[in-house]
Every structure is written in structure tokens, then in C-alpha cells.
Amino acid sequence: VQLQASGGGLVQPGGSLRLSCTASGSIFSNNVMGWYRQAPGKQRELVARITSGGSTHYGDSVKGRFTISRDNAKNTVDLQMNALKPEDTAVYYCNADIVPAPGLYENNYWGQGTQVTVSS
């Protein structure tokens, strides 16, 4: 199983970016997908996550600004980020809980990370 993230970049404060992540490989079931971020010198933190049923949870610092969505048929998860602030600058990581095949345990997978920089 691989997670491939895309969509990071440089944006001015108040701007928007959309991150996308696709899970590929042997996937029997794809349960929770989400996004985490890690800024320099800080611990990795949850940004948002979404279940296969569409239930969402957001980190306090992004509520009302970020929206997570997913396409279960395509095994993708997107993060729409609006009203970006300099403190949103970080490497963003895609994450997913996936059962690779029937009879196997659920594993947790990470993408390679994509840089988001918010600066004027």
C-alpha cells in the first residue's frame, strides 16, 4: 500500500490550497483517512480525519477554515485549506488505516509529505 500526496506549495496569507492523497496497492478496506502536519521543531499534529462513512474530526486550529473530503471508490482524500495563516506552514502528511486483504489486520500507512508554506 502506498499513499501519494500532492498539492502543496507557497501561498500568501489568506489564500487557499487543496491537498490530495491517493492510496494505491492492495486495499481490501480503507477506513479512516486523514491529514497530519509537522512544523519545524514541533510535534506532528492531527489536522483532520474522515471515516469511510463520512464522519469528520478537525484539529482546533483549523476548524472553520479547512475541509476534509474523500472518495471511497477512488481511495482518495482531499484537504481544502482556506484562509491560510503563516502558522499553517508545515509538512503535511496523508495517513490511512487500511486492511490490505481479507483476513489481515488493519495497518496504518503514511504518505511522503508535502510542504505547505504560507508567507507574503
Write the pLDDT tens digit of every residue in 32-46.
999 999 999 999 999
Give per-residue pLDDT as tens, 60-96: 999 999 999 999 999 999 999 999 999 999 999 999 9
Strand partners, 24: 2
pLDDT value at residue 114: 96
The rounded distance, in Å, linking the Cα atoms of 61 and 69 is 18
> Average pLDDT of 101-120?
94
Pairing mode, strands 2-6 and 45-50: unpaired
Cell representation of residue 75: 481511495
Write down the pLDDT at residue 115: 97
Residue 34, helix vs strand vs coil: strand
For residue 45, the tally of other CB atoms under 10 A from its CB is 14
Which pLDDT score is estimated for 44?
97
What pLDDT was estimated at residue 55?
A: 97
In whole angstroms, what is the distance from residue 77 CA to residue 42 CA?
A: 24
Q: What is the dihedral of CA 84, 10, 79, 104, to 10 degrees?
A: -140
pLDDT-based confidence at 98, cuts 50/70/90? very high
